[in-house]
Amino acid sequence: MDLYELTISQAQTGLAKREFSSLDLVNAMLDRIEKLDGDIGAYITIDADGAREAAIEADQRIANGYYLLKHESFTNNGSNLDSSNYRYPLLGIPIALKDLLCTIGVKTTCASKILENFVPQYDATVVSMLKNAGAIIIGKTNLDEFAMGSSTENSGFHITRNPWDREHVPGGSSGGSAAAVSARMCIAALGTDTGGSIRQPASHCGVVGIKPTYGRVSRYGLVSYASSLDQIGPITKDVEDSAILLNVICGHDPLDSTSANIEIPDFTSALELFKNYGLKGMKAGIPKEFLSVKGLDPDVETAFNNAKDTLEKLGVEMVEVSLPQTDYAVAAYYVIAPSEASSNLARFDGVRFGLRDNSANDLIDMYKKTKSKGFGAEVQRRIITGTYALSAGYYDAYYGRATRVRAMIRDDFTRAFEKCDIIISPVAPTPAFKIGENIDDPLTMYLTDIFTLSTNMAGLPGISVPCGFSSKGLPIGLQIMANSFDEMALIRAGYGLEQTLAIKDKFPNI
> Does residue 231 sit in helix, strand or coil?
strand
Radius of gyration of the chain (CA): 22
Taking residue 105's Cβ as centre, other Cβ atoms within 10 Å add up to 11
425-462 burial code (b ≥16 CB/10 A, e <16): bbbbbbbbbebebbbeebeebbbbbbbbbbbbbbbbbb
Give Cα 82 to chain centroid, integer Å.
26
> Annotated catalytic, 197?
yes
| 362 contacts: CB under 8 Å, gap ≥ 6 | none
> Annotated catalytic, 173?
yes
> Does residue 10 sit in helix, strand or coil?
helix
Tell me how far apart the alpha carbons of residues 187 and 340 are, in angstroms, rounded to a whole number.
33
Catalytic residue among 21, 151, 174, 197: 197
DSSP of 42-67: -EEEE-HHHHHHHHHHHHHHHHTTTT
| 301 contacts: CB under 8 Å, gap ≥ 6 | 291, 426
Catalytic residue among 9, 22, 173, 339: 173
Tell me how far apart the alpha carbons of residues 28 and 260 are, in angstroms, rounded to a whole number.
38
Tell me how far apart the alpha carbons of residues 90 and 129 are, in angstroms, rounded to a whole number.
10
Amino acid at 213: T
- DSSP state letter for 291: G
Catalytic residue among 9, 21, 98, 211: 98
Tell me how far apart the alpha carbons of residues 385 and 396 are, in angstroms, rounded to a whole number.
15
Give Cα 236 to chain centroid, integer Å.
9
Tell me how far apart the alpha carbons of residues 168 and 293 are, in angstroms, rounded to a whole number.
23
> Does residue 179 sit in helix, strand or coil?
helix
234 forms bridges with which residues in the sheet?
190
Q: Count the alpha carbons within 13 Å of 356 in the hemisphere toward its beta carbon.
A: 11
What angle, 0 to 180 degrees and rounded to 10, lies between the N-to-C axes of helices 363-374 and 377-390? 130
Ordered alpha helix ranges (H), 64-190: 125-132, 175-182
Tell me how far apart the alpha carbons of residues 345 and 486 are, in angstroms, rounded to a whole number.
32
> Annotated catalytic, 22?
no
| 325 contacts: CB under 8 Å, gap ≥ 6 | 405, 408, 409, 412, 454
* Residues acting as catalytic residues: 98, 173, 197
